[in-house]
Every structure is written in structure tokens, then in C-alpha cells.
Structure 1
């Protein structure tokens, strides 16, 4: 008779297994996989600890563990991740949303409080997590998400349908070669900002699996910010905002220099939850 594997058995076995394979948070690894497999939260998982898994579920879990041993991100394995309290579909063609990017959302919501019906442009929308979240949180907004990748646009559209968002649209566009003809009250972006020379230093999970085009500009990490200041006069309203994510180290200072050299002075620097400077908000008066 084949062994019956309960939830608690799998947690104990996998925690030991992942620990032997030098994973930093072995219990978190199996909790993530089991929560996705059983479609439940972490608390519910432990309330179901005596529940046995079916052969199909065990086969799926076995396959997921093998993939994780190769350092494939958990979000790609299970096909989803949380962002600002909502579940988004993700795939290897889009960047995995990070908690620090939620700071862009918080700052944007706060900065748009005085706007009646803000028009928002999300450049490099990827999974659509920023654009969709703003469309959901700011009910009277009109949001446009742009991305160079047709695969990203498809995933973003799927997410907008799943989350029942009607005040949003997505367009395939290479912002380095073109720009929208409308005027927006907020331009927001988490662009590729990792310098090409820094790519080898990234964690294996990121470097080997996430789309390179979403991580680096294949240059100094400043290409998109230089493009933004060039096209901003053509795409923003008279009183508007630019909110962008920046990298670590001296990257924020380099982006600040670009903005100041282009005549922007009303700039706010926002720290992420770790205290690092990761978001810049620029007030624009055209």
C-alpha cells in the first residue's frame, strides 16, 4: 500500500529537504507551494494539517519541488503572486511584482487626492500590477498601461479581466521610440534600471529566470529616466506628477541629477520599507 501523505507530513519532510539543499527559509518554501496547490491561506493550511493529498496533487507538488530546486521563482512555479492585497497572474515573460513597488502605489494615491478624474499612464506595465491597482484604488481614474512586450500586454489584460477592472486599457508600445498622444495627470513607472554590468551579481532566482528586458536597459541603468524627461512635456497635463522607482546605491542620485539638469526641482524622495531610497515623486508645472 502506498504511503498516505498528509499536509503536516509534507511540511515536515519538505522543510528538512529544502534545509539540506541550503534554502534560507525552508518552511516558507513548502508553505507557499502547498497554499497554492490547496488554494488556501497559510492559517487555513495548518487547520487542514491532517488532510491527505491525492495522487494528482502529490504529482504536481513533486514537479514543483523539482523546479524550485533549480532556483526557479516560486511565483513562476505557481503562476501568481500577491501585490497590494490582490492576486496577479505572472509568467516568465513578466517581472515578478515586489513589495517595494507598493510604495509607488501609496505615494500616487496620496498625491492624486486633489485630482477629480485623473488620467494615469503606467510605462512598462508588465503584469499590469501597478496600472490595475491604481485603477482599482482610484475609482474615477482612467488608466493606460504601456509595454513593449506583446506577451506582457496579454498577461496584463488577463489580470484586468480577472480583477474586474473597467477603467483601464493596455497598448503595446516601445516608449524609447514612441509616446502616447494623450496628456496625463500621473506618469508612473518601474523601468528596467539595473546596469548591464551589475546583472551577473543578481540572485540566481532573478538573473536566470526573470526577463532580462524588464531588469536592465543594457546600458548604465539610466536610459529610461533620460527618455522620460525628454518626452514628459508632450505627455503630461499642466499640473501633473511623475512617480518612478529607482535602484539602490548611487542610482537615486544619478536619476536626481538627470531630473535637476532638466529643470525639475520639486522632487520628493521616498524610502522603501527597508529604509532605502527607492521612489522619486516629481511635481510638474508645465
Structure 2
């Protein structure tokens, strides 16, 4: 009978031959998910045999991973800031960089008890729902143009027990007329159209609607920033996640729109990733 260590070794070799990055880690995640344990638990179970009824679905998942299906889709869940969320092809897979933005906002933004927060282009909802946990007295709204993404976000709200959250299907602010917010966050599409053939095979499983935005990747952000200012309360915060070479252009858009205190925060890799700005004072 195949042991945990044997399937880890064989599966890792299989994924490496197919060019899957971090093959060992991916295999550990698949095995731990199948055995309903943590990756650390596997080290204590190396010699444990795996029953055939558990090996068969593991082999199926391994084959799909070798074909480029994201490991997060195969497991059906992802951890984001220590919370578990559902993830699938209806929305962008949450990225570690987005966790960094959420952490910064939780530590550096102060909101009043009646504050209103908007997650624009919420996708699976992980960012907005995390902020709902960080700011429990705030009214949090999640908006997206994709009905499928909003359905997943609603499922995640129920999955995490967050009931007092509003969901709005909206093309940017078209469904939010007359509304204003103390904090607007957005992880909008920012990949240039010309990079469709060069993105990683895993990324191609994300919805194109959540990825691509014109020749330089900034078409939607150009629309969004001026509109966002008109929906910010005085001194309100605006925070975005953008591509690795877009900070100068986005800062210029923010300044031109009339936002103040514009700066771009680096991610942990040193890439200017998160433009932050504030609305003018009253």
C-alpha cells in the first residue's frame, strides 16, 4: 500500500516533469486536503498507508494540477489572512499581495463607528469581507459587475458568518448613485491585453473579465479613479492594487482627479503595488 511519503515523492516528480512551479508544496497541499489535515501534519504521517479510496481522487486531482488547473480550484478553498474562503472559476483567485493591502489598511486606517466601506470589483469577496472583520462597526458594501462573482462573494459571507454585508451588482458606480464612502478599496483588472498569451497557465483559469483592461491594463482604472473621488466622503481613503509597472501612471491619475496625499506602497517583494490617496477635506 502506498504511504504518505511515497505519494508525496511520486506526485512531486510528476508535477516537476510538467513544469509546475513549487511542485512539492502543491503536492503537500493536495495530500493534506485529501487527508483533511495540515501540511505540517504530513511530517508525522510519512509512514502511514493511504487507502485506495483516498488515492483515487488524489490521482485525479494530481492529473488536473499537471494540466495547469490551479491547486486552489482543486481544493475549493483558500486561506486569506487566516480566514478560509471558497474559491473557484467564478472569480479571481485571491493573491498574497492582496493580503498585504488588507493588513496595511487594518493597521493604518481609522474609521468611525458609522463608517461606510466599499470593495469595488470584489470578486470572491475576500478583501471586503476581511475588512468587515477588521472594522466590525462599519457598513461594508461589496460591488462587482459579474453576477457570478457576487454569488461566490455571498457564499463566502455565509461561509464566514458575516451576515451584515451588502452586495450590489454594478458596473463601477452605476448601481451606487448617491452613495459615498469613508474607504473604497479596489483590485480591478490591470493586465494589458497584449499579455494574454504570456500569463501563467494557472492565471488563464481566472475570468478574463477580472484580468484584462486594454492596451496598457489601465482602461478601467482610468474610469474608476475620477468616479471614486465623487463617491468619497471628505478625507475618505482610496486604496488600489495595480501591476508592477503602473504606479507612476496611476499616481498621476489620482493627482489629476484631485485626490491628495498620493503615494504607492511597496509589496513584500519591493514592487510598487498599492496606490493610496485621500479625498480633499470638507
TM norm. shorter chain > 0.5: yes
Q: 1:234 aligns with which of 227, 230, 237?
A: 230
Aligned match of 1:129: 126
Deviation string, structure 1 residues 114-154 (Cα, Å, up to 9, x no partner): 53332100001111000110111222121100011111111
- The secondary structure found in structure 2 opposite 1:166 is coil
* Local SS of the residue matching 1:220: coil
Counting matched residue pairs gives: 281
Q: Are 2:261 and 1:269 equivalent residues in the alignment?
A: no
The answer to whether the 8 Å contact 1:176/1:224 transfers is no
| Counterparts of 1:92 and 1:259, CA distance in 2 | 32
Q: Is the 8 A contact 2:20 2:66 kept in 1?
A: no
Q: Match for residue 6 of structure 2? A: 9
Q: Distance in 1 between matches of 2:150 and 2:103?
A: 24
Structure 2 counterpart of 1:220, from 216, 221, 241: 216
Query: Is the Cα–Cα contact under 8 Å of residues 119 and 185 in structure 1 kept in the other structure?
Result: yes
Q: CA deviation at 1:163?
A: 0.8
- Corresponding position: 1:174 with 2:171: yes
Give yes or no for contact 1:125–1:145 (8 Å, CA) kept in 2: yes
Q: 8 Å contact 1:122–1:130 — kept in the other structure?
A: yes
Q: 1-side partners of 2:83 and 2:182: how far apart? A: 25
Provide the C-alpha distance between the structure 2 equivalents of 1:265 and 1:199, rounded to a whole number of angstroms.
Answer: 34
1:107-126 equivalences under 5 Å are: 107-126=104-123
Residues 1:248 and 2:233 aligned together: no
Contact 1:120 1:185 in 2 (8 A): yes
Aligned CA RMSD, in angstroms, stands at 1.7
The alpha carbon displacement at 1:212 in A equals 0.7
Q: Is the 8 A contact 2:125 2:156 kept in 1?
A: yes
Q: 1:219 to 1:178 in 2, by over 3 A?
A: farther
Give 1:237 deviation, angstroms. 1.3
Could you report, residue by residue, the CA deviation over 1:28-85 in whole angstroms, capped at 9, with x for unpaired residues? 1210101111221111122222333233321111111111111111111111111111
Counterpart CA distance in 1 for 2:140 and 2:14 is 45
1:284 alignment counterpart: 279
74-83 or 229-238, which moves further after superposition? 229-238
Structure 1 segments unaligned to the other structure (5+ residues): none
Structure 2: unaligned runs, 5 residues or longer = none
Deviations 1:192-216 (A, max 9, x none): 011111222211221x211111011
Alpha-carbon distance in structure 2 between the residues aligned to 1:24 and 1:151: 29
Q: Does the 8 A contact of 1:103 with 1:279 survive in 2?
A: no
Aligned to 2:66: 69
Tell me which residue corresponds to 1:211: 207
Report if aligned partners of 1:89, 1:159 keep a CA contact under 8 Å in 2.
yes
